[in-house]
Amino acid sequence: MFQRGPLCACVCVCVTIGGVEVENGDRIIGGVEVQNYTIPYQASLQYNNFHFCGATLISSLWLVTAAHCWRPSHLFKVVLSEHHLSANEGVEQWFNVSNVIVHYMYNYRTFDNDIMLVKLDRPAVLNSRVQPVTMPTADTPALRTDTTCAVSGWGLTKVYNDYLSPVLRVVDVDFIPSCQYYYYFRITNNMICAGSRFGGKDSCQGDSGGPLICKNNFEGIVSWGIGCANPYYPGVYTKVRNYLSWINWVVQNDAINTN
């Protein structure tokens, strides 16, 4: 098992993937560049101004990411409204981190319960470029076999290289309910799989902690996989809807303790 952690001039046509506007330009592990800040909940976690993991904004103060992205809170920053990692586009919002909370049952060997909450040092300014993600609820229907999802991030642009994408990219992937058939006994009830049975579409190193969006709901967190975009080895994601009570408990108790 491998965690998915850190490690052009063309004619473009606008298309849509998972409700996100993108440019159909150079493809990377099946993905394309996101345009017009159409993923307003996507965040970049950065150490010394270098991206190492993705995260998802769930409120003006809190983000969700993968537990294997853990760093001491004083050693990294959060960037919202980010697109090009090496360019100052004038709309980014930078934050220090006041707290990080890893799930109490996280298993670093199996990646079970691979989820972590990150609290910003101040509320984000919500606007057209920065908005919390839509969370599933107890009444949200179960995902179906034919569901198409979208995963985004600044991860590797090609398999077997060490270069992160300089721009935010997104790829459409299929929800795969029979994930146990591909990974045998490594899948728990806290994990879901998405990708392509025949490979070519996947998240990869550097995308860790980022969002998997299905039917406009935040359903998964990029967690692990065997290689990237390999046939019969889809990406494995933390199942967000299993942690709704835990997320709400942490956020509510923090609000009580700070008042």
Q: Give residue-wise pLDDT tens across range 96-118.
A: 999 999 999 999 999 999 999 99
- Stretch 31-48: mean pLDDT: 90
**Where residue 182 falls among pLDDT bands split at 50, 70, 90?**
confident
Q: Answer yes or no: is pLDDT of 28 > 50.
A: no
Q: Taking the chain, what is the end-to-end CA distance rounded to the nearest angstrom?
A: 42
Residue-averaged pLDDT of the chain? 85
What is the percent of the chain where pLDDT is above 70? 85
* Residues comprising the chain, all counted: 259
pLDDT at 26: 29
Where does the chain show beta strands of DSSP type E? Answer: 2-3, 14-17, 20-28, 31-34, 42-47, 50-57, 62-65, 77-80, 93-95, 97-102, 116-120, 148-153, 169-176, 191-195, 211-214, 217-225, 235-239
**Residues annotated catalytic, as ranges:** 68, 114, 208
Highest mean pLDDT among 33-42, 59-68, 183-192, 202-211: 59-68
pLDDT at 32: 79
Q: Answer yes or no: is pLDDT of 6 > 50.
A: no
* CB of 192 closer than 8 Å to CB of 114: no
- Stretch 9-26: mean pLDDT: 31
Residue pLDDT, tens place only, 183-215:
988 999 999 999 887 777 768 888 899 999 999
Q: Answer yes or no: is pLDDT of 25 > 70.
A: no
Q: Answer yes or no: is pLDDT of 170 > 80.
A: yes
Residue pLDDT, tens place only, 124-158:
999 999 999 999 998 999 999 889 999 999 988 66
pLDDT at 159: 63
**Residue 126: how many CB atoms within 10 A of its CB?**
15
Residue 178 CA: distances (Å) to CA of 21, 161, 187, 232, 237: 30, 30, 10, 11, 14
